[in-house]
Amino acid sequence: MVNTAVDKAKPVDMIHRRLFQRILSLTTVLLFSQGCTVPDSHPVEKWQHGKDGTFAADISVDGKLSVVSGVDNGISVWHNNDEKILYHWQHQSEGNNLVLAIHISADSRYVVTTDKDAFALWSIDSGEPEGFWRIDESTIRDVAVSNNGKGILVGRSNGKVMYFEPETGRRLEFLGHQERINSVDISPNGQYALTGSNDYVAYLWNTKTGQIIHTFTHSSRVTKVALDDAGRYVFTADSKHDSKIWNAQTGAPVSNLKYIARQKIFTDAVFSDDGKYLLTGAPSRRIYLWDVRTGELQGEWKVAAKVGSRPATAVVYGVSFTSDGKILSESSSGLAELWAVD
C-alpha cells in the first residue's frame, strides 16, 4: 500500500538531499562536457587570405602555396613564405565565384578548380589557364590533378568518375560506383585513382585500364579518400565511425583512427613525407594529427571561427605539413594559420 501522506509531505532533509543529488549530477555532466571540449588554440602566425571568408582552398604538399576561392568573387594564389599574392584568377568570366573544390598537383605546378558544372586547369609557372571544360551530364562533386597537369580526375553526382588527359584529349569513364561520388584523389604520376561514394565503397583503380586494384568497403557512405603521394598508404573515411588507413600495395588494413565520437567527418587529409603521420581537417574547426601505424590521436588544434558566424563555426578546407615541422591550415574563416607541433 502507498502511503500518500508521506508522498505529499516529504521531510525537508529528503528534499535537500535530492536537490543536492540533482545539482551534483548536473555538475558532473557539465564537467564531463567541458573535459571533452577542445579549448581555443593559438597559432604561431595567421594571415588573411579571404576578407569575407572562403568557399574552398588547398595547400601545396610543401606548404609553400595556398590557392583560395574567396567569397569576394575570385581565386587567389598565395606564396606563403612571404605572404605574397602570385595570381588572381576568375573561374568563370561572368557570374559569381562558386568554386566548390580546388586541388594542387603534388609537384606544385598545376591547379584544378571546379564549380558544379565546369572545371579549369591552371599553370602555376605561367599563371595562365590551360583549359576550361563543361560537364553537362551531371554535377561535379570533386576533382584532382596529377603532376605536370597530365591527368585530371572528375567525380560526379551520377556515380561516374572521368579521367581526362588535357594534352592528348584521352578520356576514360570509370563506372564501378553505383551512387554519388563524394571524394577523389590521384597519384602524382596519374596512373592510379582513389574514389569514394555513397555506395559504401572506395576503389583504388588504374587510370590506364579502368581496372580495380583494391576495394575498400565501409558500413556507410564514404565521405573522404586520400592517397599517400609516396604510394604507401590509402585513407578512407565514412559518415559514421570507420576512418581507416590501408596498405596501398596489398590492400590490407593498417589502422583505424581511434576516437570516441560516434562520427567524424573529414574535409582534407594528407600523409607526412616520412609516412608516420596523417593530418586531417574537419568541418568542426578541428585539425587532427594521427599516428599511421596505431591510429592514435597525436595532436589537435582549433582554427579561428568565421567572423559573424552563429554559432562560431569554420570548415577546415586544407591542411599541410611545412618544411620546418609545423602545420598550416586554410579555413572558411578566410585565415591561413600556422601551428606548432609540441
DSSP code string of 294-340: T--EEEEEEPPPPTT-SS----EEEEEE-TTS-EEEEETTSEEEEE-
Is 226 a member of any domain?
Answer: yes
Is 279 a member of any domain?
Answer: yes
Q: Please write the tens of the pLDDT for every residue from 174-220.
A: 999 999 999 999 999 999 999 999 999 999 999 999 999 999 999 99
Is 251 a member of any domain?
Answer: yes
Range of the domain at 219: 47-339
For 179, counting Cβ atoms within 10 Å of its Cβ (0-12 exposed, 13-18 middle, 19+ buried), the class is middle
- Name the band, by pLDDT with cuts 50, 70 and 90, for residue 257: very high
Q: What is the CATH number of the domain that holds 300?
A: 2.130.10.10
d(CA 259, CA 116): 33
pLDDT value, residue 137: 85
Is 63 a member of any domain?
Answer: yes
Q: Please write the tens of the pLDDT for every residue from 24-80.
A: 333 333 233 333 455 567 999 999 998 888 999 999 999 999 999 987 668 999 999
**How many Cβ atoms sit within 10 Å of the Cβ of residue 35?**
7
Domain count across the chain: 1
The share of the chain scoring above pLDDT 90, in percent, equals: 77
Is 129 a member of any domain?
Answer: yes
What integer is the mean pLDDT of 143-164? 98
For the chain, the residue count is 342
For 283, counting Cβ atoms within 10 Å of its Cβ (0-12 exposed, 13-18 middle, 19+ buried), the class is middle
Question: Distance of alpha carbon 79 from its chain centroid, rounded?
Answer: 21
Is 1 a member of any domain?
Answer: no
Is 13 a member of any domain?
Answer: no
DSSP letter at 148 equals G
What pTM does this model have?
0.87
DSSP letter at 40 equals P
Is 40 a member of any domain?
Answer: no
- Name the band, by pLDDT with cuts 50, 70 and 90, for residue 244: very high
pLDDT value, residue 26: 31
